Structure 1
């Protein structure tokens, strides 16, 4: 997730690309969430 944030220059663009909220992406970056849901894991 951190890699995507760096490549796409922000949490908002990553969130839009993956179909999740910006806050969810921020939680992944801060290690509040460690494993993605099954459907999100496929999109990654």
Structure 2
């Protein structure tokens, strides 16, 4: 329940900041690309 609440609140922050014109796309993209697990082009390993 707590994890779902945290995810919901984070999503709400993004939606409201974009709606208000406060979201910085370039900064968000830089952060997203800085996450180590998002660097690979393949998100999931291929099945056999």
What TM-score comes out, normalization by structure 2 length?
0.29
Higher relative contact order (CA closer than 8 Å, sequence separation 6+): 1
What TM-score comes out, normalization by structure 1 length?
0.30
